[in-house]
Structure 1
Amino acid sequence: MTGACRRARELVSDACARWHLPELVAPASVVLTELVGNVVRHAGTPMQVTLTLRRPYLQVAVTDGSRRDIRPVPAPDVRAEGGRGLLLVRELARRWGIAPLGDGKVVWALLPAA
């Protein structure tokens, strides 16, 4: 998982530099790392990462080959070591969601791009 998440952060850093959006490197990296980590931990399928600048938003999306549904974001157990990933996505993104595909799903998030 470390390699996939590291590569995701590199993609965000490169894209934000190319689009002159240095303020989005940190939040977009957190969001994409969480989405990629979920695919590695729960879906276990190949994935496709897409970053798209559609002003006024940067769209971050991860497509995987699992039809497994993502559960709603509950309040995290303060004693738990994990379970905060989608909560972070919800807090950092303007909007986020899940779209089913014929052979999997895409999880996306929109971050404000000034």
Structure 2
Amino acid sequence: MNGPALHERPSAPASWRITLPHSAAAVPAARALVRSAFAELEHGADIDTAELLTAELVANAVEHTAGDAPIELVVELLPTGCKVEVHDPDPVPPGNLTRPADREPDLWQEHGRGLLLIRTLSASCGHRPTGSGKAVWFRLPVVPRQRQPQCRPRPAS
């Protein structure tokens, strides 16, 4: 786990829904919403991973859907973890989200690793059709608290 993660669990589900522009500006806005939502409830899922995977989903929606229809971000914080969905107007499912790619991504290319990151770092992920296109989602579990050491270090002699 990289970066800080808070370990308090919300007692009841909470959700945020925001419409984002179909532009590169949607990515930092989505990251900010995720960070704010987690901080507001002191949620226990890994904030950094949630931000990274959200940015990947939003960037994919902007890059791979035609037109300028807005994108919708839905963040749900649950006692057991979180679920993030990105809704876009294109009904075509994402390429290799739920199954490994036929070939390894080219390490020298800028693109091609986003869905691999989502598959690898999330507890689960997938997509579903919606009335206006599709929703692509991932889930992250609550991160357990680090155990505190039971003994104290001896003073130096």
TM-score normalized by structure 2?
A: 0.67
Counterpart residue identity of residue 47, structure 1 = I
Q: What is the CA distance between 1:112 and its match in structure 2?
A: 0.8
User: Matches of 2:132 and 2:48 in 1, distance apart?
Assistant: 31
SS of equivalent residue, structure 1 residue 97? strand
Say whether residues 1:100 and 2:129 are aligned partners: yes
Cα-to-partner distance string for 1:40-71 (whole Å, 9 max, x where unaligned): 10014311101001221200110111112211
CA contact (8 A) 1:99 1:106 kept: yes
1:41 is matched with: 63
User: Matches of 1:79 and 1:40 in 2, distance apart?
Assistant: 22
Q: What is the CA distance between 1:79 and its match in structure 2?
A: 2.6
Gap regions ≥5 residues in structure 2:
1-22, 144-157
Counterpart residue identity of residue 92, structure 2 = R
User: Matches of 2:79 and 2:119 in 1, distance apart?
Assistant: 20
Write out aligned runs for 1:18-97 (5 A). Answer: 18-21=40-43, 24-44=46-66, 45-72=69-96, 73-74=100-101, 75-97=104-126
Larger Rg: 2
User: Matches of 2:141 and 2:73 in 1, distance apart?
Assistant: 19
Q: What is the CA distance between 1:22 and its match in structure 2?
A: 6.6
User: Matches of 2:45 and 2:123 in 1, distance apart?
Assistant: 15
Cα-to-partner distance string for 1:68-93 (whole Å, 9 max, x where unaligned): 22111523122322110011111111
Say whether residues 1:5 and 2:27 are aligned partners: yes
Q: How many residues align?
A: 114
CA contact (8 A) 1:43 1:68 kept: no
Gap regions ≥5 residues in structure 1:
none
CA contact (8 A) 1:35 1:62 kept: yes
Runs of 4+ in 1 over 4 A off after TM superposition: none
User: Matches of 1:17 and 1:53 in 2, distance apart?
Assistant: 11
RMSD between superposed Cα atoms in Å: 1.6
Which structure carries more helix by proportion?
Answer: 1
User: Matches of 1:23 and 1:96 in 2, distance apart?
Assistant: 15
